[in-house]
Amino acid sequence: MHRTRSSFVALGLITVLLAACGTPAASTPPSAAPGAAAPSQDAAAIIADLEAKTREEGALNSYGMPPDWTNFGAIWDKFLPKYGLTHTDTDMSSAEEIQKFDAEKNNPVADIGDIGIQFGPVAVTAGAVEAYKPTRWDLIPDYAKDPDGYWMCWYTGTVSFAVNTALVPNVPRTWADLLKPEYKGQVAISDPRNSGQGAMTVLAANVANGGDETNLDPGFAYFEKMNAAGNFTPVAPSKANVEKGEAPIAILWDYNALPMRDELGAVSPAVPIEVVIPSDGTTQAPYCHIINKYAAHPNAAKLFREYILTDEAQILQAEKYARPLVEGVEIPAELAAKFPPPEAYESVKPINDWKAAADAVARLATEWAIEVGT
């Protein structure tokens, strides 16, 4: 799972670059898109060429794509052996991934990364990413991709609560509930200053309290109240911390909370976890694939982008509750039955203006500690 520790180097980068960003749908690339596949090219020929070059490269390394995040473990197991690739991943936040791409340009470590959509324009502005439009490019919604191919989203999730009911028998159902004294020292969130999950946690609470992506003040006010009440716990919202009781209420993407429910429910003795989609409002957002402009294995990076848009990869992610973004991919019925019922998601309030959302994230980077006091 993505780390939630604060990185002051990454924070500085995000503070500067997010303030300069525009909407993801209209980001301005720093240069042409030499890696983008021409629409007229035959898809099979493109794939065959990438496969041959990938086998020659022999490796693919990543940042922020650990095996327990949206079933990356199964995806790596399918992709890497097919092409004889070695692989290493170093887990880190969205902000840190971009900072590392830029800092390591003379000696690149990772070829690819996985970042929250609000960080896509940051990566473009930093000049740290390479453009590539895969052959299924047209099946990705316009809002979920850079028009020049510098970033591309491929799965989405909803902000939820994971509650250890052995320790919290009175399960909170709303953001308002989380402010109650009975939850003192029990609520864990990711750091919103450098984590996509953390930033969207704040935006979710914000919409539940009457705000939207153009007005973050209700979200700041909400978390100021939570901090004043002493309900925060200063640990990461990880499976281990939920299990041990150090974070009996964790605010997470549903695709992190639901696997936690399944895995802790299968241990002996079982740790009961209930996943709640807050009924007073929440939001959802996708994560994006980026290719390091300085990648040591650029063809393997492009081929992996091709692979993650296949039906196989999209359904593998759905097995860990990440919802596919590729048009036409359907989650099998037996798998869909494991998700919360559709009515649980009726409280979701989508983000309509991603430029404003990027501006809101910039505010989090600079104002979170001042406004909330953490």
Query: With bands split at pLDDT 50, 70 and 90, how would you rate the model's confidence at 41?
Result: low
Average pLDDT over residues 276-282: 98
Predicted pLDDT of residue 336? 92
Residues forming beta bridges with residue 129, ordered by sequence position: 292
- Considering only the C-alpha atoms of the chain, give the largest distance between any 2 of them, rounded to a whole number of Å: 62
Q: If residue 75 lies in a helix (H) or strand (E), which one and from where to where?
A: helix 72-82
pLDDT value at 64 more than 90: yes
The DSSP-derived string for 349-371 is -----HHHHHHHHHHHHHHHHHH
Predicted pLDDT of residue 373? 84
Average pLDDT over residues 53-78: 97
pLDDT value at 16 more than 60: no
pLDDT tens-digit readout, 294-350: 999 999 999 999 999 999 999 999 999 999 999 999 999 999 999 999 999 999 999
Ordered by where they begin, the domains of the chain are 8-156+285-336 (3.40.190.10), 157-284 (3.40.190.10)
Average pLDDT over residues 118-131: 93
Average pLDDT over residues 351-365: 88
Provide CB contacts within 8 A for 65, sequence distance 6+.
72, 89, 91, 112, 113, 114
Query: With bands split at pLDDT 50, 70 and 90, how would you rate the model's confidence at 194?
Result: confident
Q: Which of 178, 260, 185, 266 is nearest to 225 (CA)?
A: 178
- State pTM to two decimals: 0.83
Report d(CA 159, CA 181) in Å as an integer: 22
pLDDT value at 28 more than 60: no
